[in-house]
Structure 1
Amino acid sequence: MTSQSEQPGQYPGTVQTQPAGVHGGDPAAAWQQQPAAPPVKQGTNGFAIASLIFGIIGGILFSVIFGIIALTQIKRRGQGGRGLAVTGLVFSGLWAAGIAVLIVVALADGATRNDAGEITEGGSVSSFDLATGDCLNGLKESASITSLPAVPCSQPHEGEVFGTFTVTGDSFPGNTAISSQAEEGCTDRLAQYAPAAADDDSLELFFLHPTSESWAQGDREVVCIANDPSGQRTGSLKD
């Protein structure tokens, strides 16, 4: 019989090997050479989605705020949605540019008044900015009139503003009641503005009064207009 001594941890018939990829080097080096796994994205950023939605519907302020927050969070957290946030900001920019163009057009299209408040150059006038003595065109029955084309009274026009007054009340009285108040108040003021016009059977009363919607926004003004349905006139009723 033959006796054989063995080192601890070694057994007959086994071969010890070095860690894979390491030939006589430090085993830790093999671990350091392995590429790091890419970071796992944490889903789509909620602010990015909100920025896109508000950008589409024209909520410029919210879209810009949410878009900036989203881009900051996406970079820090590794989330998705950068394209959504950028698109929302782009839509907001388009909305802002469009509104700016409309404002410029509206200002350019507005009527010009002199220091006395008389219209010297024709253009659109807001129904809330109409004044006694303004001569107007485009007088048509409508449920809502926000503006009217105004011209100097020396030019052909359909009607002339001869008075304005304010109705009172805590709540909207209804269309029938407010129309009666407007007609009564305008009839009295026409004789004061131009006595001859009050006796002119060819003239009709055309008045603007608050609606239930404008009343809720604080509108209480009635605008009295003398209208000639047969055609346009030249010159003021007071001439």
Structure 2
Amino acid sequence: MDKSLRLSMSATVGEAKAAVTALLLDQGFDIRERSDGLEADRTPAPRAKATKRPATRFRVRFSSAPDGAIVDVEPITGAPAVRTTVAMMRERLVKKGLLSAEPDAEAHAVERDGIDADAAGDEVPRRADGDETADFWPFDQLTSPVDAPAVRAATPPLNALAVVSLVLGALAPVGGIVTGAIALGHIRRTGERGRGLALGGVVLGSVLTTVLSVSIVAAVGLLLVPSGAGTPNAAGEPAAAAPASPTATVEEGASSSFAPEVGQCFVKRGAGEIGEANLVDCGVPHAYELYEQFSLSGDEYPGDDLVARDSVGGCRDRFADFVGMDYDESRLELVYLSPTVKEWGRGDRIVSCLLADPDASVTGSLRESQR
């Protein structure tokens, strides 16, 4: 038996058969089960057929040995290409730890240009154009980019929350903001598609929230103005309008009369609302924990985008001090509450930073959890 066509594997016969089958399938061979082992064949690519190279076909037999299993390869057609295949299998089995490198392995190694030591003395056929060429090619030369079908990289899946955030951004703006923020965190960790959709949900939800807030404040103001307001009084001066009562400003569902404090925990209501109605003891399962508060600066309201940027940045900077690890390495998410333009006008500059586990409810505090 040609030593270059025999493999001594440190595995059982069943394990050896499975490993050899996987390697041959990986090299593009068709495998058929035989009573005494396997039969493998591979038809040359179209360009290879044009050079009249034969198909590569051989049998593989397995037998037990004291230290494992013996694999014998018997060429049927295309013997040089069979030796190439066995040499490639030998190299990969050594790397997998299933085959010990043999002292004379180099004597039977097949060079990558397709000619091995045993075939060096074989007659080298000539093509019609006079160039010399071996009567076989290694597997990676049997096809070319022209012959081989195009291989496309797998497209990452679309994040479902990103789609939901865009829909909620139009139908339930606050839900679009919260869902979009969570989706962006998932996409950052998993590499899924949909970042544009999630950003669209956040932006659309923010815009509609601002518009709805202004509309509600304007409507309430009109309802509170007395019918005689704006008409001249007896002295020829306009009558003073009755002072408007304070109106509730909604930010993530929390009214201005409720001031959350560091250390408080909240269960989830609706699309992530925070308020007295969902305030709970941190010892029971909850969705959010308020871990830090800080103030923004400035006399004039800087605009929604700058408030959002400074709020997120401030909460991220304070994340590691509470959790015990950097935000980019954590699987936890952060949610923030920032002042609206009306609250800013009343002197409110407080930003509240909250923690949330996107995968499950939390029992107890997340301080130094390093999650």
Tell me which interval the TM-score lies in, with the shorter structure as reference length. 0.3 to 0.5
Larger Rg: 1
Q: Whose relative contact order is higher, 1 or 2, with alpha carbons under 8 Å and at least 6 apart? A: 1
